[in-house]
Every structure is written in structure tokens, then in C-alpha cells.
Amino acid sequence: MPPPAQPDDPGRGRGCARLHPLMSLRPLRLAVLLALAALLVVGAAALAACGSGSSNGGATSDEGTPKPGGTFTFPLPGEPLSIEPLNAQDASGLQVAHQVFQGLTKWVLNDDGVLATEPDIAEKWESADAQTWIFHLKTGVTFQSPVARPVTAQDFVDSWTRVTDPQNQSYVAYILAPVEGCDDRGYQTDPAQGLSGVVAIDDQTLQVTLRYPFADFPATLGHPVAAVTPVEYIDQVGAKAFAKKPVGTGPYAVQSWKRGRDITLARNSTFWDAERPVYVDEVDLPIYDDVETMWADFQAGELDCSQAPSDQVQAITDGGEVKNGAWTARSWPAAALYFVGMNMTDPTLGPSLELRKAISQSADAQAVVDDVSPGVAEVAGGYVPAGIPGYKAAQNPYPYDLENATSLVATPGGVPTLNYWYDTSEDHRRIAEVLVTGWSGAGLTVEESDYEWGTFLDKLSRGDNGSGSQLFRVAWIADYPAMDAFLYPLFQSDQSPTGSYTFYSNQGVDDLLQKARATTDAQQRHNLYAQAEKLILTDMPAAPLYFYRYFRVAAGRVHGFTVDPMGTTDMRAVWVE
């Protein structure tokens, strides 16, 4: 996948926070590498999300009274792999699943642009130790037609049991890996026994026991894989039929899925949540293979929103259509990060903090952004992006400072030639050129090499076993809105070899992360994660470059549209003139 793309690329992988192949995203275990062949917050493939408003920030505040009815046409950036909880994992599939299915919790973009975790089918929950959780379900929640029956706690037991059954081969079961009875992949350790950690106390009460304390567990349950499904109906109609036209509890129901053409959703006339009105009668989702065709169709008036080619973002933003209100153009923060990893087992890099500081301070992140994603991506001040609860700006103690970097490099004997690796892609090549120029300005000699994706991962995963990795590019997209989704899978000692490929290990960081995971008070937990982030950055096993953003253009008739940091959109808020 070639030109600059966005973190909502259709080729999503699996893990706790996706490691993009081309911009790097997760590989096996709790981190999966996604082949994001084009990944710069403005280009090719993206989530079915479009923008409303004209400035950066959180939720949109549209003027006028919402008008029910009408059809909203918005493009999907590729054929979904799946649109039901068992395997919804790519941008298109996740977008559809979020409209059709619901879980115990949901992600809500607040007015400050932060993605909060709030009750959905659960009315409330509690845990004294962050390991045993009690969820109290709302009454009156019903499945869509033709199932049309109330949801009970046992439905969650059955749904999660189905997802974690290794025979069903769910690619996103890892989200439920913390549950007792699962292994690190999220598969049941004893299928004959089922999920021992999930029990229906009564129709409205669900008890979940985890393998370890995890205070952000409710945040993970906003992912569609944890949504409730009518398992007895799936058994009745068959898995293949259900996958084509699944039934959930959400505000929209699947009318049809014509592969290679489009998906049609209709407003669920019996939607249980009367407090949250659903305005649009029908959502048409045509499927696109490339952003250029999508953009052309938007300009021709065939779509209500679109992504835009990266080289046209500035012209669109400054153009007459936006100024006269015919279009709205906007970018939103994405829960995605691009950084330069450093192999801490390398005999040159590992022992020398001064060298790692110099690499960070001579990595010209602003020049990278200006070259590959002008006006959209933003220089990263740490590992956790805006929009994530607890985010703190300017955490990096070694931001770009070429003069200081030069003084650090000017040591007796000099520094041997270093290597910088990336997977083959024109965008990664351009980024490498900018980085090498900055490093050269500080007196460092860095040679760049590109490898086919599989070879790239194989070489990085070998660490000190003869791979020779030193500097390399990585990109990461979180699966749930929490600081944990960035810091734990990337930098915890057991996770870093397959998360960030840095082989970073610091017992103080591990202790802080473990303590944070067990801390139920949100403010205290965020403070602990921030301390861990600061400590990691002080060690500098990875130099943060930039945070991705979602850029969308929408027709002026579209209101109430936002894109959250996970790249999804709540269609209930949308209305059209």
C-alpha cells in the first residue's frame, strides 16, 4: 500500500495495540503488525468516518434543530473482512459493527475531545480490586428483529464463550485475553470447561473474574468483539448466514451486504434506547478500493463525506467550498503513533543513553510531518496521544534540538555507522531520508535499508540473535482508549520484544505499570501511567515522531458528525438536511 495513508487502514491486525506494518502495527500476541502500506494520516484507505465542522478539537456543535429522516451516504475504505463481533477487525468492518452491535460499555467523545468509557448495556459496574468485576445490566434492552427478545447476562456469557472458543478462530479474541479461562491469545484454555471467569449471577447481573488486576478492563469492552450476540439464533441460521446479515441490539440493522459494492443499514425502529434518538433512516455505505475514486465521487455529489488525497488537504481546507459552507473539512486526533525504535540489546545503542538522546534530538519530526502529512499529523511529545484519558503533553525530555544533539555526538572516538530499517514503501523511504538528514546534521552516520514486510518483522523479532537491528520505524494504533494500550504492550519487559521490538526492560517501569493496572481510582491510575511514560522517555528506547490524525470532508448538509480517536463514528448523532 503506497501513498500516505491513515491509521484506519482496512488491513488491521490483531493484538492489544496494533503494530502497523507499513506504518507498523501489531503482530502476534498482544500486539499485531498491521500492513498499513500507506499510512500517513491523510491518504488512502481509511475508516468510514467523515468530518463535520471546520476546526480541530472534540465533538461538533452544530446549529439548528436535528431533523429525523433521510439517507446518509458514506464510503467504506475497503471490503470488510467481517461486520460481526467474532471477527470485526478492519476499519470498514469495525465501523459497521459499531452501529449494529453493543456491549456493556461504549466509547463517547466528550466536549474536550477525550474518548471516555461510559455505560451502554451495563447500567453500572464495580470492582474493589480491579480483578473481579460486577456489571449490572439495564432492563428493556432487546435484540433486533427477527430475534426480538430481551438481553440477559447469560447472553454475554454465551457471546464471549463463542468468541473465545478456539474452534471459531476469532482474530480479535485477544481483547478478552484478561478474562480467567483464556490464554494470551484470548482463546479458552479448556474449551470443555468454557469461560470460567464469566458467570451470570441472574438475568441482570454479570460477574467477570480476570487473570490479573486490570482497572482499564471496562474500556476494552467498547470493542465490538465484546458485544452481545444472540448465540441461539446464530446456531439456528448458521454462522455463514449470520456473518452476512448479523443481528445485534444497536440503533442500525443490516439490510444487505453486496460484496464489492455496498452495505445498507436501516434505522432500528424498535431500538431500546429511547433517550438517544436515531435520526437518519438509512445509511448507505458504498465500498471503495482507493481514495482517489472516493474523492472524485464526493466532488460529483454522490457521497456525503470522503477522505481526501494527501496532496490536496491544504487546498481543500483553504478552498472556496469550505469557505462558503458547501463543504466542511476537519481533522481529529487518532489513537496512533509513529516512532523510531531502538534495539536496547545492541552493543552500540543499548549502553549509551547519550547516543539515544542525540538520536531523539536530531530526529526532525516536524520536517517529517511537513513532508508526508502537512497540516494533519502533529509532532508527538510522548507515546500517548491526545484524546486518550490521562494524556499529558510534552512528556519527551529530549525534543528536537540539533545543537544539543551535535554536542552529545562530539565524543572522543566518534560513533560508528548505525543502520535504520523500514519495510518497503515509498512513504517510509521519504521519512527515512528526512530522518537521516537530521541525524547527519548532528554528526551521526546512518545507513538506511528497506525489507519486505515479513523479512522486516523476522529480523526485528530476533533482537540480539544476529539480526543486527539498531534503529527502525514502528507505528502503533490502540485497540481501546487507555494509556495502558500504548505503554504496556510497547514497553513492559515481557511485551517489548514483540510490541515495540526494542527489547526494552526496566523494573521500575514494570512496577509502575503493574501498580497502575491495579489502581481503580482513575486520576491516580493516570498519574502512575504518566510517571511510567516519563521514565520510559527518559531512557529513550524509542523516539516519538508524530501522532496521526483523521482528515475528512463532508457536505454542508451533514450535521453532528465526529470521528473519535479510535476512528469510529456514532451514527446516532448524525442528521442530514
- pLDDT confidence of residue 372: 86
Q: How many H-runs (helices) and E-runs (strands) does the chain carry?
A: 17, 20
**In the structure grid, which three cell numbers stand for residue 484, read together?**
495502558
Lowest mean pLDDT among 277-286, 366-375, 532-541: 366-375
Give me the mean pLDDT over the 142-167 stretch.
98
- For 249, the 3-state DSSP assignment is coil
Does residue 47 have a pLDDT over 80? no
- pLDDT confidence of residue 466: 55
Give buried/exposed letters for 77-91 (b at 16+ CB in 10 A, else e): bbbbbbbbbbbbbbb
Q: What is the pTM of this model?
A: 0.89
Give me the mean pLDDT over the 255-264 stretch.
97
* Structure confidence at residue 464 as a pLDDT band (50, 70, 90): low
Does residue 165 have a pLDDT over 70? yes
Report if residue 111 sits inside a domain: no
Does residue 90 have a pLDDT over 70? yes
Report if residue 400 sits inside a domain: yes
Does residue 467 have a pLDDT over 80? no
Provide, rounded to the nearest whole percent, the portion of the chain with pLDDT above 90.
82
**What is the extent of the structural domain holding 359?**
1-62+303-577
Among 492, 461, 389, 345, residue whose Cα is nearest residue 16: 492
- pLDDT confidence of residue 2: 27
Cα gap 439→182, rounded to integer Å: 45
- CA distances in angstroms from 521 to 28, 64, 354, listed in the order given: 31, 39, 37
Cis omega (within 30 of 0) on the bond before 146?
yes
Report if residue 98 sits inside a domain: no
Cα gap 132→129, rounded to integer Å: 7
- pLDDT confidence of residue 207: 98
* Structure confidence at residue 410 as a pLDDT band (50, 70, 90): confident
Give me the mean pLDDT over the 211-221 stretch.
98
- For 356, the 3-state DSSP assignment is helix
Does residue 11 have a pLDDT over 70? no
Cα gap 82→87, rounded to integer Å: 6
Q: Are 372 and 99 in contact (CB under 8 A)?
A: no
- pLDDT confidence of residue 19: 46
Count CB atoms within 10 A of the CB of residue 145: 11
- pLDDT confidence of residue 186: 97
Alpha carbon distance, N-terminus to C-terminus of the chain: 36
Where residue 394 falls (left for φ over 0; alpha for ψ -120 to 50; beta otherwise) is left
Give me the mean pLDDT over the 95-119 stretch.
96
Give me the mean pLDDT over the 365-369 stretch.
96
Report if residue 417 sits inside a domain: yes
* Helix or strand (DSSP H, E) at 440: helix 426-441
* Structure confidence at residue 34 as a pLDDT band (50, 70, 90): very low
Query: pLDDT tens across 525-573, in order?
Result: 999 999 999 999 999 999 999 999 999 999 999 999 888 999 998 899 9
Does residue 463 have a pLDDT over 70? yes
Report if residue 491 sits inside a domain: yes
Does residue 10 have a pLDDT over 50? no
- pLDDT confidence of residue 529: 98
More confident residue, 22 or 540: 540
Domain count, the chain: 1
Does residue 39 have a pLDDT over 80? no
Report if residue 472 sits inside a domain: yes
Instruction: Scan for cell 439517507, then name that residue.
Output: 71
Does residue 16 have a pLDDT over 90? no
Lowest mean pLDDT among 7-11, 93-97, 400-404: 7-11
DSSP state letter for 176: G
Report if residue 365 sits inside a domain: yes
Cα gap 16→484, rounded to integer Å: 10
Does residue 412 have a pLDDT over 90? no
Dihedrals phi, psi of 332, to nearest 5 degrees: -125, 150
**In the structure grid, which three cell numbers stand for residue 132, read together?**
473481579
Does residue 22 have a pLDDT over 60? no
Query: pLDDT tens across 116-130, in order?
Result: 999 999 999 999 999
CATH number at 421 reads: 3.10.105.10
Q: Are 97 and 111 in contact (CB under 8 A)?
A: no
Instruction: Scan for cell 544476529, then name that residue.
Output: 466
Instruction: Scan for cell 545543537, then name that residue.
Output: 403
Cα gap 335→566, rounded to integer Å: 6
Give buried/exposed letters for 547-572 (b at 16+ CB in 10 A, else e): bbbbbbbbbeebbbbbbbbbbbbbbb
- pLDDT confidence of residue 569: 84
- For 160, the 3-state DSSP assignment is helix
Report if residue 334 sits inside a domain: yes
- pLDDT confidence of residue 15: 34
